[in-house]
Structures are given as C-alpha cells and as structure tokens.
Chains A and B, each alone.
Chain A
Amino acid sequence: MESRLIEKLSILADAAKYDVSCSSSGGKRKNENKGLGNAEGMGICHSYTEDGRCVSLLKILLTNHCIYDCAYCVTRKSNDVKRAAFTVQEVVDLTINFYRRNYIEGLFLSSGIFKNVDYTMERLVRVAKKLRQEHKFNGYIHLKTIPGASEELIKEAGLYADRLSVNIELPSEMSLQQLAPEKSYKEVLEPMGSIRQQLAQASEEKKLFKSAPSFAPAGQSTQLIVGASAENDHQILQLSSQLYKDYSLKRVYYSGYVPISSDSRMPIMAEPPIIRENRIYQADWLMRFYGFEAKEIVDEQHPNLDLDIDPKLGWALRHRHVFPVEVNTADYELILRVPGIGIKSAQKIVSARRFAQLNFEHLRQMGVVLKRAKYFITCQTKSLQRQDFESELIRRKILFGEGSVRSALLKQQLDLFKQVG
C-alpha cells in the first residue's frame, strides 16, 4: 500500500500546487471538546517551498481525473498526465497524522471534476464531515467549491469548512469563455453570492444565539490567473476591488501563470510573470490596508503597474503636490502614504509624537526606510534634502542608489550588455 500512497500523494499534491491560496488565518474554531486541533487566531506557515511560498495546509486534489478541458490547467482532460484518486479515508488519515506531528494547520481540498459537479462536491464535503464528526478535528479546513455545485451542498460544506473558495480563474468573462469553455462567470459568481449570503445570515444568527451553527468562519476567497490572458493590471485590479466590495471576499489570490501547458490556446512565454504578480499583490495590499482606491493605483492612462518600482512609490511620484508630509503633525492616513513607511512604523510615529517631537534619527530607529522616505517627509520642518528633485530623478536615485546620474546610466547599460551576452 505504501508505495502506491506515496505515488498518489506526489501526483495529487503536484496537481494542486498551482492554487496559491494557503492561508490558515481568520478561523475561530476552538478546541472545546478535548479533541484534536485548534484553528483560532493567526495562521502559521509550517514550512516554505524552495520557491518561497508558505506551506500551511495539506493542499491536495481528491482526484485529478477531470471531465473539463480548461486550457491553463494541468489536470485538463486532453493533457497526457498520470491520473490518481484518493479514498476519503486516505485523505482523513494523512490530515490527522500530519497534523499530530505539527506539519500542518489543516487541509486544503480541491478536486478535478469526475462524473459531475455535485458528485464531486459531495465527496469533498464527506471528507470534511468525517474529520469534524468522527475525529473531533478542530484544525483548519479550506474546501474548494466547484462552480455550479448545488446550494444545499455549499450550505453543508460551510458547516464543516473554515473557508470556502470559488476560483474565478480569469480576469474577464471573454477569456474564461476562450480558455475554459465549460465554465462561465455566472457559474462562478452564483456560488460566491450564495456563500456571501450564508455568511451574512450566519453572523446575524450568531448575534441572536451564541450557539447558532457557524458558517465558514474564515470567510471566502478566490483566485485568478495572471498572464494567461490579455487583460491589463487596470482590469485585474478593478475586478478584485469589485469582488472585495460586492462579495465581501477575504482575499483575492493572484497566480502568475506558469507555462506548463502546451495547449495551443495558451500564450507562449519563457517564464512565469513573477514580478508582475508581486506588483499586483502590492497593489492589493494598498487597497486592503493602506486606504487606496483601485483607480488611484492604475487608470486608463496608466493601465499597467510599473515593474521597476512598487505601486506606492509610483503613486507618490505621480502626486508630488501632496508632499512633503510633516511627520510630527500630519494625519495617520497621509503618513501611511509615504514610501518607506509601513503600517507598523506609521503607528509608532503617531504614538511617539504625543511624547516628543520626532527627528530623523528617531524615525530610523522606528524602522522607517529613510532611503525612500526622505524625499517625501520633513521632521520639525527640516528636510534631509537640500533641494527639490524632479520625480524622474528621485525614481533613479531610489532605484540605483545615491550615486551620480552617470553611474546609474552606466549600470543600466551594463545590465543591457548582460542581457545581450
């Protein structure tokens, strides 16, 4: 049995790895039954892959047999790969035994679609149910909701899972039609809407009765693939901003497309768009934690994020009239917009200035990155800059260091030579 199980695990973990969500935070499930596990509070990354991603959950497919033929997906019907399927009991045993050894926070279960949507969804729910009811498992469970699954099944899934997610997959309906002909936005948005409704209802009931059953207490998330279709960053961020607002999603995940598919419908590329993906995540953070609107970050004139600099610096360079900001008096919201000042240091600044006037040395000790921030702030009306620089020059100084403009140009050229060589 053992070598067969090893083979299954390697196939079905490999097939699940392109789903980037691995968060295990936001749960409220306490270990009150002297059972196994606890999923309250913050998530824990128990390991990191060699590509630097967090490993928090046992992330696997129940099976990679699939009746769909989505161009971007390794598991698509027309792809010639080895197929495998776990039994419900095998998934349960793996989860419990990994959890007991502190390898994981819980289970992330997804699946290829076999027979039909509801049949597949029913199996996923059965795993979660068994873990909760027979094994008193209180660890984290993230279940993938298969687009088009019936409302009753989604409702049941929410009883056992901490988080549910439906992947929107592509940033526009048109791309989805081209690359995933069996799926549609309607089929994705319907369960998303239904989950949102259930979440709202459960939280209302919780207010009235503390014992009301909870529904996916860690909320819902989604994922979309970046670089597999032609949408620009403006369209992508518009979409996620809308999803956050209209569907109260906890997270939108962005997965830079890894060129794994030889399907003729896919673009030909040498490597995954990792830098672009990173910039989109930074923009996503700006929307969720820094009070930025999507339209402030990208718009029709600048539809794509600058790959060389982060979007916060980009915004600051386009809005020089807002700066310099006096850190001793400015509003928290404005301090938060200064490049080189993060949430933690912004909070420290606001707290410390109640006791004493701050100078640049104080800021440095609090963790402000002065190399970037100094162009945008004053301390007690003093500035570290003797003159006002053009935005273009600031950009160059931050990118290439304090050195003269000539050395920067030289470095740029050397980089060019390197690319040619």
Chain B
Amino acid sequence: MHFYTYDGSFEGLLTVVFEAFERKAWPTSIEPEHLAQPSMFGEHIAVVTDEEKAGRVWQGLQKKLSINAQQALYHTYLWEQAGFEQTIFDYIKLVFSSTQSIEGHYTAPCVLQVQQAAKQVHREKHRMEAFVRFQKTADGLYYATISPDFNVLPLIVRHFEKRYADQRWVIYDTNRRYGAYYDLSQVALVNLEVPPHQRSMPLAPEARDAQEDSYQQLWQVYFSSVNIPERKNPKLHLRHMPKRYWKYLSEKQPRALR
C-alpha cells in the first residue's frame, strides 16, 4: 500500500504521477499534506513538487491528448471534490498505457468522471461570468467578491480581462482567500487580507462611487419591470438562478426605500 502526499498544487500532483511511475508503486491514496491522516500500515511517500518532473508528465500528455482533453484534466484539478487526485491519476495511467487515444472512452469510469467534473467546473465558470456584479469604488476601482463551488477564478480571468480592458477591477474569492486584480495592463493573482466583515457585499457607503447606489437602484427597477407577472414560474426561476448565487446579485437584494 502506497500513501502519497503532495503540496496541493497541480504541478505537485503531476510530480506524484511521475514518482509513482518511476517506482511502479501505484497509489492507494493521494492527499494534500495538511489533510493526510497518518497510517500504521503501508508506505508513506511525501512527494516534493519538482517542476521538471511535472513538466515531463505534462509534455507526455500533450503528445497524446487534444487541447480539450488537457483542459478537462486541469478542470478536474480545479474541481477539488473528494477523490479528484485518484481520478486524475487513473486517467493519466490509462492514457500512457493505451496505444490509441482514449478520448471518448466513456465506459472507463475515470474518463467519464473527468468529463463530468470538467462539465461541472465549466458550468460554474460560466455562472461566475454571468453573476459577478461589480461595484464601483470611490477611487474608480470595480470590485466584486465570489465564493464559487469550484476553484474557477483562474478560468474566468481571461474573460474579464478581454471584456473590461479599460477599467481597473478586482474579483476576490472569499472562500479561497485570493483574488485577481487588473491594473489596465495585466492581471495579477493577489492574496489580499480582507477582514471578514468586508468580504461580502455591499461596500461601506463612504467607499462607494457617488453614482453607485443610483445604478444599483436603476438595475433593480429594470429587473422588476421586465418581469411578466402573468407568466410567473418560480420553479424555472430557481433552476436557472439557484438561491446560493443570490448573494452576488444586486437585483435580488432588498429594495432601498425611495
């Protein structure tokens, strides 16, 4: 029995794959260091992330997988659900042990699992692109917080960079405690220490741009006016916009008194 631990990074996980192949010691479990439970039996292998080894595994995959499949594998890493390391390992092992492409081999559990994880991550990415709401601050920064089910911040950055090329913005993941900041020339991933009481909307009144409240109110008015009461359909409404996303949405916040 071989219990692997790694530092939680994608490169770290690829290094685990490298080590396991080198030793021909297939993992019983793969876990991040800080989560691993010590075990009395079997061999414990603490893998140190090695960029070169990780790079060799990735290059091997690039030769055998389409861009889409490479992306799906990375998305499975961002998926972060229990057992994702083992799924990724099984998938890579299947890739290297097959002479032909394994893409579309949905009767193999790891292939179907990667496809489904990637789909869930992609969906969450799309939802974040839709449901992020920026608030303009007094110094002209557009600020938004998110707490997505999966770690999709790295995936949505490009979308916002292309779209808001002429405004400074920050998107901060309050669960994972890091954010992306665009300064009109490039995006940097940053660890801001935001005190807990400031992590969710709304920004303090003095920190907001003078027109911010009016535009939030106009948006609420717009949202109410486009509704057709004769067609009310709460079930459909909730299916498209589950309640856990409402915290982001200014149109779903209580109406200010007018």
A: which residues have CB within 8 A of B?
2-3, 5-6, 9-11, 13-14, 16-18, 30-31, 34-38, 44-55, 58-59, 94, 97-98, 100-103, 136, 256, 258-260, 271-272, 274, 348, 351-352, 354-356, 358, 362, 365-366
Contact = CB atoms under 8 A, between A and B. Distances in A.
B35 interface: no
A97 B215 contact: yes
Given A48-B240, A49-B237, A272 B165 contact: no
A102 B132 contact: yes
Interface stretch (B7-15, B45-53, B134-142): B134-142
B208 to A, nearest CB: 12
Nearest to A52: B236
B228 A51 contact: yes
Interface string B231-254: 111111101110000000111000
Interface stretch (B76-84, B99-107, B192-200): B99-107
Contacts of B232: 50-51
Contacts of A366: 106, 112
A52 B126 contact: no
Contact of A51 (B133, B222, B233): B233
Nearest to A7: B221
A6 B107 contact: no
Contacts of B166: 34-36, 136
B231 to A, nearest CB: 4
Residue of A16, A101, A260, A272 with highest tally of chain B CB at under 10 A: A101
B201 to A, nearest CB: 12
Given A36-B165, A101-B134, A47 B241 contact: yes
A18 B232 CA distance: 14
A52 B126 CA distance: 18
Contacts of A59: 226
B106 to A, nearest CB: 4
Nearest to A43: B130
B62 to A, nearest CB: 21
B26 interface: no
A34 B164 CA distance: 8
A358 to B, nearest CB: 7
A59 B223 CA distance: 11
- Interface size range on B against A: 35 or more
Contacts of B222: 9-10, 13, 58, 98
Contacts of A274: 231
Residue of A36, A46, A49, A365 with highest tally of chain B CB at under 10 A: A49
A37 B239 CA distance: 28
B219 A271 contact: no
B231 A272 contact: yes
A418 to B, nearest CB: 19
B206 interface: no
B165 A34 contact: yes
Contacts of B249: 47
B130 A45 contact: yes
B217 interface: yes
B129 A49 contact: no
A100 B142 contact: yes
Interface in B180-218: 211, 214-215, 217-218
A13 B240 CA distance: 22
Given A2-B214, A365-B112, A51 B163 contact: no
11 contacts: A2-B214, A6-B217, A9-B218, A9-B222, A17-B226, A17-B228, A45-B240, A47-B249, A51-B228, A51-B233, A53-B226
A405 B240 CA distance: 35
Contact of A352 (B106, B234, B258): B106
Contacts of A94: 218
Given A37-B163, A52-B236, A52-B240, A358 B226 contact: no
A17 B134 CA distance: 25
B163 A103 contact: no
Contacts of A36: 163-167
A49 B165 contact: no
A348 B225 contact: no
Contacts of A258: 228, 230-231
A97 B108 CA distance: 49
Nearest to B112: A365
A9 B106 contact: no
Residue of B133, B135, B167, B235 with highest tally of chain A CB at under 10 A: B133
Nearest to B249: A47
Contact of B230 (A48, A49, A58, A271): A271
Contacts of A97: 211, 215
B144 A9 contact: no
A137 to B, nearest CB: 10
Given A55-B226, A366-B106, A10 B130 contact: no
